[in-house]
Every structure is written in structure tokens, then in C-alpha cells.
Structure 1
Amino acid sequence: MTSTSRRPGRAWIITPGLHGHRFAGAQKSGAAVAVVDIEDSVALPDKQTARAASEAFFALPDPPCTLGIRMNSLTTLDGVKDLIALAAYSARPDLIVVPKVESPRDIELVAATLDTDGYTPDIWALIESPRAFDTLPVIMRAPRLGGVVFGSADYAASVRCGLGWDALHYARSALINAASAANIPVVDAPTWELDDPGILRRDAERAKELGFYGKGCVHPRHVQVINDVFTPTTEEIAQARALVAAADASGGTVTTVNGQMRGTPFFDTARALIAEADRTA
């Protein structure tokens, strides 16, 4: 059963499993979720080395954020080996990112292998293929699914389109719609331009406007921009409180606020923003 109370924060950072010297930096970057990767960032000959080395990521003392791992696809031998290794880790991840999910069976298999009486990791699906989009409603109903992440690079490669916002707008919108129907959060793919904070901010603002819960990144200097964009501003919170006050004064009926007509959908959005702001204050 999906629980919104377990939703991690907005900025996610991913770091390669072979680079142990980066582990502490990723965890202390300010991201709410730090994910060690043993899939795309690791070449086939190095998979076992990364699999073994990544256990140390979860053994660091007093981690300041949620810790996760991106395993290999369960359609590969390395994915099966990952599950066996994860089950034997003495220090375990809070969150498992399962790549190339095209069926709820992937989520069920991870849960069946790893769940114990004292350990039930959050399981997130990486959606990154046209076939996955064909089965989104079924995937979203997987009982142990905690959320989904958009894999823009693999998706673009599969359909042979660009990585620009317009080229991937349909995929992002379809993913948001399916996840919202199931009441689970969606995290956007990283922005691959490392040295232009303006592009990153624009992408993060578009993702937030579209309905994404957060955004991934591959460099620590991207974290603060993502946090800034996804954290409600003082002005946004004040406007939401004014809107709720107007709703209460009108008895919940349609009213006018600052020259704009407002009704139930706007009231609900404002109350949700205030609840989140109060929860994170």
C-alpha cells in the first residue's frame, strides 16, 4: 500500500558506486535523497566490484538524508545478482530504484526478495521505455510501489528523439497523469547540462509546474537550485493562507481574491501547500 507519509524530499543526487571517495559528499550535498548507482554508471566488467563497494555507502555514520541504490534491471543477470547482494548487506538502503520497469512484477520481485519483518525498503520504479508507458496504469497499482522516476536519457534513446523539454513533454505529462491517478510522487530526470545553472533552474521550474514532486541531479552544485525551486517561497505561502482565509469567509463557495475568481480546486491546492509548509517548517 502506497503511503504518502514516506515520501522523501525534493532533490535527489546520484553518485557512481565505484567512486567511494564521493559517497560522503553526495550524502552531505543537501539533497534529500542520495542514491548510489551500480547500473548505467558502471561498465559490465566492474559490476561486481561496484556491487561490493556500494555497501559502504549505507554504513557511513549518521547519514543526513534518505539513502538509496539504483540496481540493475531485473531482466539481466546483474539485476538478479544485485538482489542477492542487497539481501546480504549488513547496512541496507532505505530506498531501491529499479530501472527499466515495464511490469509490476519487477516491483513485486524486489519486495518478495528483500522484505523482512524488520525491513521494508521504499521501492521506486525508473520509467524509461515506450513499453513502460503502454503499461503505466498497471505498474502504478503495484502494492509496494513508493514512487516513480523519469529516465529521460534511455527514453529519448529508445524513441530516437531529442532530450529537449518539447521533445519529452508528452512522456513527462503521461507519467504525471498516471502517477497522480495512483496518488504516488514522480521525480524528474536530471538536467544533463552541468555548467549552466540557468538551464537547470528553467528545467526545475517547468518540472514543478507540470506536477513533478522533485528532480534528480548528478552534481552537488545542482542541489541548491532544485531545493530553491521546489521549496514554497514566503510569498507563495502567504498567498495560500490568504486564499484559505477567503475560502473560509465565503463558506467554501466561489469567491474573488485579488481580482481572480477562485473556487474549490484553488482552495484545495492552497491547503495542500500550507500543510506541506507547516510539515517541513
Structure 2
Amino acid sequence: MSVISLYVSAGRPGYVEHALTVSGVDAIVLDLEDSVRDADKDAARDLAAELLRFYDGLPPRLLVRINAPGGEHLDADLAALVPLGLNRLRLPQVRTREELDRVLARIAALTEESGVAPPQVELMIETVAALRDLEEIVAGRPEITALTFGGEDYLRDSRAVGAPDDLWEAKRVLVEKATAVGLPAYDTVYSNLHDRDAVWQDAHRAAGLGFAGKSVIHPAQSPVTRDAFAAAASQ
């Protein structure tokens, strides 16, 4: 069964309230990263913490995309959310095993101090280096439960380092490597909100490559995406 994840910005409280009522999606990704301006990061984090307190953790289908390693916001996200029982998170922009080890060590320390269970981690693959070294990065790390592709960031990085920028080839490699390490891979978002046929074609092609699911950025994309994955599975 395909997993459809809906992104919602934690910088828009009204959007979050609406997203929690949306049916037909398997996961709601409360985003603290790309969709939140630096000036709004603290307020977005506070909103995520309020939800954690209200739900005594989070509902199974709600997870949080925290900020990236190397910036000023990651540790604040972890310190605020992990002790409250955050059960799932998406970790963006990891480039090396060392970066992942540091983040997971910090999570382990916070869970030990607070006596909560460690969160499951969906690792975002958004750089050429991360895709190249994927097996090394995730080896022996049971905390990693899924891989998800960050297409726009990957495209920017590939151009910056002079690598080929064919996203579909990168997606094929990701699915191949995810299969080799025994993890599901979820495809990146498709940004065109208004072309139903294009949304369907993009999702159908992703399903054909072997992705286990896909992220969307609007509730209207969800049924189209699910139909595309179902069609691919029936072929």
C-alpha cells in the first residue's frame, strides 16, 4: 500500500488546523524547515510543541520535519520536541554519516534524560553526496525507518557540484539503494497544483520506479496521487 504524505507549514497555524481534518492521506508532515521563514522559526516550533502536549505525543499519522544539521535551529527543535514524546520526524539535508551520527546521538541523549521512546526517523536524501554514500550513511542505524527524496534541493545541489541533473535517474538510484538496505523510499513533491493530469503522470512514473509513496503539498493532490499509484500497482 502506498504512503501519501501531506506537507503543512508550521508557520501557518490555520493551515495546520485544517490539515488535521484532511482525510485520504497517510501522514501529515508538520514542516519547520523550508516553508518557515527564519523570523517565524520559534513560533512554528512552539506550535509543534503545543500539539505534542495536546496529544501527549503525536497521532500516529502526524510527524515533524525538523531543521537541517549545521544550522542554528536543529538543536532547538530537538530540545523542544523530543522530550515531549515526538514519535516520528523527517531529517533533511544530511550529507554524511558523521552528521547523522551527531543528530542521532543528540536524540538518544534527550530521550534518555526525559525517559521517552526515541522517535522514528525518515531520512531525506537531498544532495548528491547523500545519494552516493547512502548505504554507508544508514548502515547499522535501525532508527532510520524510511528514505524520502528532496527533489528541489537535490537539483540545486547537483547543479552546484556539476553532477548530472536528471532527477528521474537520481530517483531510480535512490529506489535501487533503498531496496538494497531494506528501507521504503518516498518520492518528492510535485509543485504544479493545477494540472491534474501532470500530477497523475508524475506519481504514476514514481510508482513505476518502485517508490513506496509520495509527498504532496495540497490535499487536492492526494486522491490523484493515490489513484496513480494504484494504477501502477495493477499493471
Do the two structures share a fold, i.e. TM-score over 0.5? yes
1:31-110 matched pairs, under 5 angstroms: 31-58=25-52, 66-89=61-84, 92-108=85-101, 109-110=103-104
Is residue 229 of structure 2 the alignment partner of residue 230 of structure 1?
A: yes
Which structure is richer in relative contact order (CA contacts within 8 A, separation 6 or more)? 2
**CA 1:216–1:60 in 2, change beyond 3 Å: closer, same or farther?**
farther
Question: Which runs of 5 or more residues in structure 1 are unaligned?
Answer: 1-7, 240-281
Tell me which moved more, 131-140 or 170-179: 131-140
Aligned match of 2:123: 125
Letter in 1 for 2:31: D
1:134 to partner: Cα distance: 2.4
**CA 1:228–1:60 in 2, change beyond 3 Å: closer, same or farther?**
farther
1:1-281 matched pairs, under 5 angstroms: 10-29=3-22, 30-58=24-52, 66-89=61-84, 92-108=85-101, 109-110=103-104, 111-116=107-112, 118-141=116-139, 142-160=141-159, 167-231=166-230, 236=234
1:115 to partner: Cα distance: 3.8
Letter in 2 for 1:194: L
1:126 to partner: Cα distance: 0.7
1:159 to partner: Cα distance: 2.0
For the 8 Å contact 2:2–2:229, the answer to whether it is kept is: no
For the 8 Å contact 1:20–1:57, the answer to whether it is kept is: no
Q: Deviations over 1:125-163 (max 9, x none)?
A: 1110112122111123233111111000011112239xx
Aligned partners of 2:38 and 2:134: how far apart in 1?
29
1:74 to partner: Cα distance: 1.7
For the 8 Å contact 1:10–1:215, the answer to whether it is kept is: yes
For the 8 Å contact 1:34–1:65, the answer to whether it is kept is: no
Q: Deviations over 1:24-57 (max 9, x none)?
A: 3223322101011111111112211111122234
Fraction of identical pairs, as percent: 28
**CA 1:126–1:138 in 2, change beyond 3 Å: closer, same or farther?**
same
SS at match of 1:69: strand
For the 8 Å contact 1:58–1:67, the answer to whether it is kept is: no
**CA 1:61–1:145 in 2, change beyond 3 Å: closer, same or farther?**
closer
1:225 to partner: Cα distance: 1.4
**CA 1:201–1:232 in 2, change beyond 3 Å: closer, same or farther?**
closer
Aligned partners of 1:175 and 1:94: how far apart in 2?
25
Larger CA Rg, structure 1 vs 2 = 1
SS at match of 1:126: strand
* Count of residues in correspondence between the two structures: 223
Letter in 2 for 1:40: D
For the 8 Å contact 2:5–2:26, the answer to whether it is kept is: yes
**CA 1:158–1:201 in 2, change beyond 3 Å: closer, same or farther?**
same
For the 8 Å contact 1:98–1:107, the answer to whether it is kept is: no
For the 8 Å contact 1:67–1:93, the answer to whether it is kept is: no
1:73 to partner: Cα distance: 0.8
**CA 1:82–1:118 in 2, change beyond 3 Å: closer, same or farther?**
closer
